[in-house]
Structure 1
Amino acid sequence: MSRTMTGGCQCGRIRYAAEVGSDDAYLCHCRMCQRATGGVSIAFVNLPKAAVVWESEPDCYASSPIARRPFCSACGTPLGFEYPDSDKCDLTVGSFDDPSRFRPTSHFGAEAIHEAWIDTRALPRYRTDQHDALTDRWMKALGKLPD
């Protein structure tokens, strides 16, 4: 079922609307994505470029001779990945306003997977709103916790 979903960067300068027809997403573990995001992997949704409308154009970084990455130069949010000569692109799952629709269906760049980070179900979990020092900082700065 296709539906329009919105998203953007952390500071709100870059926004997009995307016509999304599938819940499928994937995790990329390649070293290029690890370096570009600073994470051990990144979650992407693959879409036709024609399905994405940018309300304000993102900045783009030519991360290699064959690919570029849209991002926000004001706040640094990674927004996607694309080959300029392809009709498809990837958007970062985390940049969608409501990423809960998506589910991981595959791993890419498996040669660089950090296995210790794949299954973390047994690790203890802590909520940000239960961290007193963090909550105090937000309350002093904004008078409320962020969304």
Structure 2
Amino acid sequence: MDRIETEASGGCQCGAVRYRVSAVLDTSHICHCRMCQKAAGNFFIALIGVPRDAVRWTRGAPATFASSDKAARGFCRDCGTPLTYDYHESKHINLTTGSFDDPTQFAPKYQFGLEAQMPWFAELSIPAEGTTEQTMAAYVDEIKATNHQHPDHDTKVWPDN
């Protein structure tokens, strides 16, 4: 595993938990295993390894659930956002790629847990639509007026009211 020096930040949906990383490992991956499906509440979870000395919690800290005797899952206790997979014996911790402010930096390089991958996932071909102001015009003003999601950057305080 190669260590890649970087500067990146992220956090949960509500902003109660924020972090900064100074390095990541070249381990960006998707895991389809049933435990990861349950932890993410989705078909898979996207994770990237971060050396323990390279992550700093800048606001709050994740709550944890011992998903096994060997590992714990970190999440925001306020909004429920999945944030970590921590295999206790590892020299690194995995952060959920989607919790980064710019997750496009960390394209998945591997897939694991293929035994639990949804059988139709590889051949998924259904109509697709973005969630832009054009496609969601009927809802945009209402969503903007009632948005409680933390922005994709660090803030001095949150909520900002």
**TM-score bracket for this pair, using the shorter chain length:** 0.7 to 0.9
- Unaligned residue ranges in structure 1 (runs of 5+): none
Higher mean alpha-carbon deviation, 21-30 vs 61-70, is at 21-30
Q: TM-score, normalised by structure 1?
A: 0.86
Structure 2 equivalent of residue 9 of structure 1: 12
The counterpart of 1:132, out of the listed 128, 137, 150, is 137
**Is the Cα contact below 8 Å between 1:5 and 1:96 reproduced in 2?**
yes
The answer to which structure has the higher helix fraction is: 1
Which residue type is aligned with residue 8 of structure 1?
A: G
Shift of 1:117: 2.2
- Judged with a 3 Å threshold, the aligned counterparts in structure 2 of structure 1 residues 114 and 6 are, in CA distance, closer, same or farther, namely same
Distance 1:112 1:25 in 2: 19
Which residue type is aligned with residue 69 of structure 1?
A: R
The counterpart of 2:43, out of the listed 40, 43, 65, is 40
**Is the Cα contact below 8 Å between 2:9 and 2:20 reproduced in 1?**
yes
Shift of 1:72: 0.2
Q: What is the CA RMSD across the aligned residues, in angstroms?
A: 2.1
Structure 2 equivalent of residue 57 of structure 1: 61
Report sequence identity in percent.
Answer: 41
- Judged with a 3 Å threshold, the aligned counterparts in structure 2 of structure 1 residues 73 and 114 are, in CA distance, closer, same or farther, namely same
Structure 1 equivalent of residue 156 of structure 2: none
Distance 1:46 1:21 in 2: 6
Q: TM-score, normalised by structure 2?
A: 0.79
Shift of 1:83: 1.4
SS at match of 1:63: coil
Q: What do residues 106-140 of structure 1 show as CA deviations (whole Å, max 9, x unaligned)?
A: 111111111422354x4322122212343243155
Structure 1 equivalent of residue 126 of structure 2: 123
Q: What do residues 27-74 of structure 1 show as CA deviations (whole Å, max 9, x unaligned)?
A: 001100101111010111112111111112211111112110111010
Question: 1:71 aligned to 2:106?
Answer: no
Structure 2 equivalent of residue 89 of structure 1: 93
**Is the Cα contact below 8 Å between 1:24 and 1:102 reproduced in 2?**
no
